Structure 1
């Protein structure tokens, strides 16, 4: 299993949170480099099993040779269908590490990082289909672009950026990362602020390309359906948009955070929170793995 593909964040904290027993049936919906899966497998006995999902063809290279492991080459929004397909009705624990792996950021041909200016504006997790970042920049309306940069990137100048993109693409379509950087340059601050704005813009496009918010909602809903009572849902988030969805879902059972009450005035929620306060990496982990710095871990148990 490749160790350089991705260093898993909050490895022991997240797998400990799954409350694994030797005969547990577990799901890792974000297999990636297999770091979390490897740790899960080390805690399973012969009767236990791990199902791991990943839609990226590169992840196939990290599959371990283990009879207790089944790899599913699919987006995790099809979680319930594939678990049922494999003859499983309920699972004991689900782990989701929602961050983009260091492998993706470091792969020049994937378009996830603004470091590689000659790379194509792709950003697809699954390169076998779907729209690319180039498609979005060249075809979306000005309003759609403004919404994406504001909602998914939280960029204050989203309207001005969208207007500039629409004006520029009439003369030259967006193909390379350098094309987008040229457009964004007038909107950047200096130093760390410059990097932050670039990261926000690229995050916004990546979320739209991969429909990350909608697929996350699907996975959470389906995960709730297939979890056994007493089963654990463990999620690591990296930005406020996904963290807010997970926080609301674990607390109230819906994504808006609406608190429902029964006839007696008691809160109705499908989960019991295992950690009321979000778990973050130690200083030692942050120094060892800088990509962990924005990681937040939430753990809930199905009632």
Structure 2
């Protein structure tokens, strides 16, 4: 698929990241059942559906009510499609997956529509309410969490999920500011972080890592990823494919280790009297893939994307 084809596949200005590589990785069968656990605006889902025949099925999930509303507007009339609002962490609890899946796609992180709408509170570049929840009807907003968390917890989150070296200094500034007035807007938080940071030659905004960390924490993204990977492995049919796109090293490390843990025997331990038997349940398909220059030129958000694909092993029924 050429870069031009990929752009034509985009809908309403949304460019699906690494579209051609994902379609190649999933190896869509016309009569297969596939789950897109992060529907977003449906760029990848549309590509899967185009490859399905009358007997194929496409299951769509997303935590975001706006994404689900978009899916229902576009796909509710297609008998091959089933739609469920919720986290992919619970994909194995959806009865529609019980018969087995031939492919699972997880396109992680925040979606372009979420970033582009200031009211969702994901972007430090657009002033809006300090929310950051992918599901605005569930859990604490970023503002609520920052209002109650103690200084140590805030610093730990910024360091663990954002690898922010100035985490303690930023946490101290947040606690001092909220004693005067609550932090309610993204611009307020971004300006506060910038004022607490020493001047460096870095090209990225001083609030980049902190915003990432708070978003990951508020949405339990890494815990959901671990649960979703286990659920995908449980529901995939032998020969089924798992394709995961990650956008930062914390996500990619979890995906890489998960595939390796199910594909390779652990190192032997001479202290054990009997070697533990190991039966691989996954096979890595190629190496990690990245977007090419043509795609990153058209869609700068693809620059940090990493795609990993694995296949479920076992005898086909």
C-alpha displacement of 1:94: 0.5
* Cα distance, 1:49–1:148 mapped onto 2, change above 3 Å: same
- Please identify, of 260-269 and 26-35, the stretch whose mean Cα deviation from structure 2 is larger: 260-269
Secondary structure at the counterpart of residue 96 of structure 1? strand
C-alpha displacement of 1:181: 2.1
Q: Aligned partners of 2:178 and 2:191: how far apart in 1? A: 12
2:185 matches 1:176? yes
- Please identify, of 62-71 and 170-179, the stretch whose mean Cα deviation from structure 2 is larger: 62-71
C-alpha displacement of 1:110: 0.5
Q: Aligned partners of 1:297 and 1:237: how far apart in 2? A: 7
* Structure number with higher helix proportion: 2
Deviations 1:165-207 (A, max 9, x none): 1122111111111221232122053565351x32111100100
2:303 matches 1:293? yes
CA contact (8 A) 2:59 2:83 kept: yes
Task: Give the aligned partner of residue 44 of structure 1.
Answer: 52
CA contact (8 A) 2:125 2:187 kept: no
- Please identify, of 40-49 and 178-187, the stretch whose mean Cα deviation from structure 2 is larger: 178-187
Deviations 1:199-220 (A, max 9, x none): 1111001001101011111100
Q: Aligned partners of 1:294 and 1:184: how far apart in 2? A: 23
After superposition, residues 193-232 of structure 1 pair within 5 angstroms as 193-195=203-205, 197-232=206-241
CA contact (8 A) 2:10 2:16 kept: no
1:88 to 70, 81, 98: 98
2:89 to 65, 71, 77: 77
2:170 matches 1:158? no
C-alpha displacement of 1:88: 3.1
Q: Aligned partners of 2:91 and 2:13: how far apart in 1? A: 24
The aligned length equals: 296
CA contact (8 A) 1:259 1:268 kept: no
Which segments of 5 or more consecutive residues in structure 2 lack a partner in the other structure?
Answer: 1-8
TM superposition score normalised by structure 2: 0.87
Which segments of 5 or more consecutive residues in structure 1 lack a partner in the other structure?
Answer: none
Task: Give the aligned partner of residue 259 of structure 1.
Answer: 266
The alignment's C-alpha RMSD in Å is: 2.2
